[in-house]
Chain A
Amino acid sequence: MSYLEGKYNYVIVAVIALLSWWLVKLTVIDSMSSREGVAHSADYFSSGYTKWEMAKTGELKTKLLADKMLHYKDDGTIHLDKPVMSFYNAKAPPWVIQSETGIVSADGKTVFLNGKAVVDRAKAEGVSPVTINTSNLKVNPETSYAETADWAELISSPQRTTGTGMKLVYVEPIRVELLAKVRGKYETK
């Protein structure tokens, strides 16, 4: 019997070793995933965020407002709640682009304005008012260019034109291109 008993002890020790190895593995995986979770969280944030950017001449070039701004360290992106971007120029009122949320790429070259987006330019002397209603707009501030593949509506009295897909250049010479299924309407006085 004692021969068996000896063997029996070895089996228990083996089971205990196996159990502890499995537990160690479990805790390692756990900490790994929790560390990953921490990796994509904001390293700093701001509420009531305002950012001004001046031109070399000292004049105001762009202004960015947002209810909330979060910066993510791992991919360098900036996430915005209710962003309002204003682009200033010498001759006419600024172009103001706003949307529900926005993401600024790490290099700052591209801004993805997600959800409903509105582009506005107020009326002024010799300048007709323009409003564009669209969604999911991709903006390139450096080249003053914005585009979407979604439906877009251009309102600039007396015309109202809709289409699918839009390209906008909001610096002189200002152009709005509607890419498909265009329908225009002009009120006659």
Chain B
Amino acid sequence: LETDSDQPITIDSNTATYDDKTATSIYTGNVISIQGSIHVNSDKLVVYFKDGDAEKLVFTGNRAKFRQTPNVGAKDITGEALTGEYYPKKNLLVLIDEATVWQGTGAYSSKLIEYDSKNAVVKAGSKESDSARVRVVLQPKNKAQAKPTP
């Protein structure tokens, strides 16, 4: 939802370590992170602070999975990757390595996918490298079965 970025981020996990020197908090073990309608499940989460703010959250897992409700009543957008980087201030979620996003009838797979969590816009692949090839699968409207959310 558009208001997601104004919500606090809550994190549940088995253990956590706060490292003062590197200004990071590391959460490990069945990590569930929630901000508004954005849910992320991962094995590990590292929160990076800058000037007293959570600047970047890095999720890793096999795989890390996320879902968000773009707007009220709409179907959830879901995605997964080996690594996810979330920038709360930029409303940007970058999925890296074996990344896939399911949005409506489309599925986007690439090495790198950028997802704008404010406007629910998916941008797959990256200009720099060819290796970030993109495969898009758009189901024809009438034959589209309800894609089971992973």
Contact = CB atoms under 8 A, between A and B. Distances in A.
Interface of A: 128, 130, 154, 156-159, 161, 163, 172-189
Given A182-B27, A184-B25, A184-B27, A173 B20 contact: yes
B16 A178 contact: yes
Contact of A179 (B9, B15, B23, B27): B15
Given A157-B52, A173-B20, A184 B15 contact: no
Q: Is the interface of A mostly helix, strand, loop or mixed?
A: strand
Nearest to A127: B20
Interface in B18-74: 18-23, 25, 27, 35, 47, 49, 52-54
Q: Is the interface of B mostly helix, strand, loop or mixed?
A: strand
B10 A177 contact: no
Interface of B: 5-23, 25, 27, 35, 47, 49, 52-54, 88-89
Nearest to A128: B52
Given A159-B25, A188-B5, A189-B53, A175 B19 contact: yes
Contact of B8 (A156, A181, A182, A186): A186
A130 B88 contact: no
A181 B17 CA distance: 13
A17 B23 CA distance: 82
B18 A188 contact: no
B52 A184 contact: no
A156 B10 CA distance: 15
